Structure 1
Amino acid sequence: MSTTVRAAAKINLHLGVGAPREDGFHPLDTVYQAISLYDDVTVSTASSTPSSTASSTPNSTVSSTVAEDSLSVSGSSYVDVAGVPTDATNIALRALDEARCGGAHLVEIAKQIPVAGGMAGGSADAAAALLAHDRLHDLRQPDDVLLAQAARLGSDVPFSLVGGTARGRGRGEVVEPIVDHGTWWWVVVPAAVGLSTPEVYRHFDRLHPDAPAQPAEPTELLAALARGEPVRLARALHNDLQEAAVDLRPELGDLIDRGEAGGALRGMVSGSGPTCVFLCDSQEGSAEVLAALSASYDVVLSAVGPVAGAHVVDMHQVGTGLR
């Protein structure tokens, strides 16, 4: 038996970062949005053979056996999976340990979400693995149980379960859906080389030794989402980590300037980077920005948001996503 769950990339429309707490984590006030770049995660019992439903063409696959579990990873042509761990450190395997229901499993990940790009691809894989394991074994755990398991795995994992547009507080793991009356068109430009999230946070601390204990609230951005106004949303987009990311990788600033010159309403670094995303005024506008950036960058993608959180796309038992 096997179950395949699809989970979306996330971007941060607002990422407010406070001074580090005593436990070392930074308090966040963030607005997440799930967009239409997906990873598919297939979880199978070890006696069956997994079969990925991803529509992309894999460029490579790596696999490893960890205890009784095994994991393989493949990716679209623009996704370099060489750096994705296939041992017990992979967050998808940690998700199985979080909600173990006996026996060995095979896990197959087919990636469209850029690796180490600030779009929570690993968190999406963990959320998908949690839900796939639950449905594979017909556990039917309540949503709050799955969300608690997700929060123990990482700050972005609960949102990857919920999807849509949501506000995250605490470390980002306390997730609350918010009103979003828009359909938002994005152009996404991944970087060939990743950027370390811990290093970006450390550089933020160096640049902002006097950061407030609690970040500012995204009041104007929430109003723009509720009204579905692209220009208003563009003006309200905010990322406290962008300065640190651009300071570490100045070419990201050049990319943002090129995208805005090519017609984007606004460009910004996604999360801790290095992927950059561009808000456009329409589907036609996103096609124009995509064409403009494709003249200078090898990989330029289009996406729309918000989209659903982790949800079943193929299984031998009845079930879908969170209830």
Structure 2
Amino acid sequence: MRTEQGRVRVRVPAKVNVQLAVGAARPDGFHDLANVFLAVGLHDEITVTPADELRITCAGPDAGQVPLDRTNLAARAALALAERHGIDPRVHLHIDKDIPVAGGMAGGSADGAGALLACDALWSLGSTREELLALCAELGSDVPFSLIGGAALGTGRGELLTPLDVGGDFHWVFAVADAGLSTPTVFREFDRLAAHTDVPPPAADPALLDALRTGDATALAATLGNDLQPAALALRPALSATLAAGTAAGALAALVSGSGPTTAFLAKTADDAERVARTLLASGTCRTARAATSPAAGATVVERTAP
């Protein structure tokens, strides 16, 4: 039996969409987006070690909902990188899960980006950032941002990134619902709701970009937006009560995170965020409530043990 040697561990952040402007459905079924990403301090960690065959394990909250086959984005990332370099992808991918599953915070995309960076380091490939970003874009629309972190405007399907300046820390609370929502299902509901309307081309809000640049939480609160929120609320009406509870608790603003069902609340200070989280948890309108700060670094190697 082959003995496992060497190990690489990568930490990768969740994201919140402070603006998600969605265009009409394209002929290929995708939508053009103006997607303002902000990485937040909730993380998954991906540990990669040599193995006799490709296998995946997962631990942490909601680990039972994570697929452990080759549909997992972490596995797809390892396979794509191995194919690109003619490598047999005999690795064990272990995911320590702390980002909500199917929660609109790019947890699966984070795992894909983390696995890509970890395997690249384990196999000593030395891929450039541009090469890794190209592979990320093939894996999914949110995967490139999970690699770079910070803040960025995503256009196209969200995979074409322009880094953004952030002038300070922003404090958030994320309320996790009892069950996930499928991103394709939410987009289909968006299309249904928009069927008889003129959907404008998506564009980033200059006032929102300015609020990020200056670090002004009050100004950012006034400009947050998510075109998928009506669709998410139509599919999961109970989220309205969560949004109302967080606003009543003193959040500056509330919105559905991405395709949901996680809801995000912007707070003025870290102490305010902790107070909003406690109140939300006590309200009975969510399963858990977590405070976190943004921006956060993208996928980062935090441990590397030589073979």
TM-score range, shorter chain: over 0.9
Distance 1:103 1:252, change over 3 A: closer
Cross-structure match for 2:55: 70
Residue 136 of structure 2 is matched in structure 1 by 150
Please, which of 193, 196, 202 is the counterpart of residue 207 of structure 1?
193
Deviation at 1:211, TM superposition (A): 4.3
Q: Give distance in 2, aligned partners of 1:200 and 1:13.
A: 18
**1:45-64 counterparts in 2 under 5 A?**
45-46=50-51
* Contact 1:15-1:28 at 8 Å conserved across structures: yes
Residue by residue, what CA displacement relative to the aligned partner does 1:58-88 show, whole Å, maximum 9, x if unpaired? xxxxxxxxxx20110111xxx2122211111
SS where residue 253 of structure 1 aligns? Answer: helix
Q: 2:3 aligns to what?
A: none
Backbone CA RMSD of aligned residues: 1.3
Give 1:236's aligned residue.
Answer: 223
Match of 2:31 in 1: 26
Pairs within 5 Å for 1:238-317:
238-297=225-284, 298-317=287-306
In structure 2, how many angstroms separate the alpha carbons of the residues matched to 1:87 and 1:177? 33
Q: State yes or no: 1:223 paired with 2:200.
A: no
The unaligned stretches of length 5 or more in structure 2 are: 1-5
Q: Deviations over 1:112-153 (max 9, x none)?
A: 001000000000000000000111111111110000000000
> What is the percentage of aligned positions where both structures have the same residue?
47
Where does residue 117 of structure 1 map in the other structure? 103
Cα deviation for residue 291 of structure 1 reads 1.9
Q: Is the 8 A contact 2:153 2:161 kept in 1?
A: yes
- Measured after TM superposition, the shift of residue 288 of structure 1 is 1.6
State the TM-score, normalized to the length of structure 2: 0.93
Where does structure 1 lack aligned partners over 5 or more consecutive residues?
48-67, 318-323
Deviation of the 1:217 alpha carbon: 2.4
1:197 Cα deviation from its structure 2 partner = 1.1
Superposed, which structure 2 residues align to 1:135-146 within 5 Å?
Answer: 135-146=121-132
The secondary structure found in structure 1 opposite 2:25 is coil
Partner SS state of residue 48, structure 2:
strand
In structure 2, C-alpha distance between the alignment counterparts of 1:275 and 1:73, rounded to whole Å? 21
In the alignment, structure 1 residue 169 sits paired with structure 2 residue 155: yes
Deviation at 1:219, TM superposition (A): 1.3
Counterpart contact for 2:36–2:204, Cα < 8 Å: no
SS of the equivalent of 2:220 reads: helix
On the 8 A contact 2:23/2:32 being kept in 1, the answer is yes
Alpha-carbon distance between aligned partners in 1 of 2:75 and 2:43, rounded to the nearest angstrom:
18
Cα distance in structure 1, aligned partners of 2:175 and 2:198 = 29
Counterpart Cα distance in 1 of 2:188 and 2:232: 11
- Asked if structure 1 preserves the Cα contact closer than 8 Å seen for 2:245 and 2:283, the reply is no
Q: Structure 2 CA distance, aligned partners of 1:7 and 1:103? A: 21
| Cα distance per residue 1:160-216 (max 9 Å; x no partner) | 000001110000000111011020000111111111111111111111123436213
Indicate the structure with greater helix content.
Answer: 2
Aligned counterpart, 1:92? 74
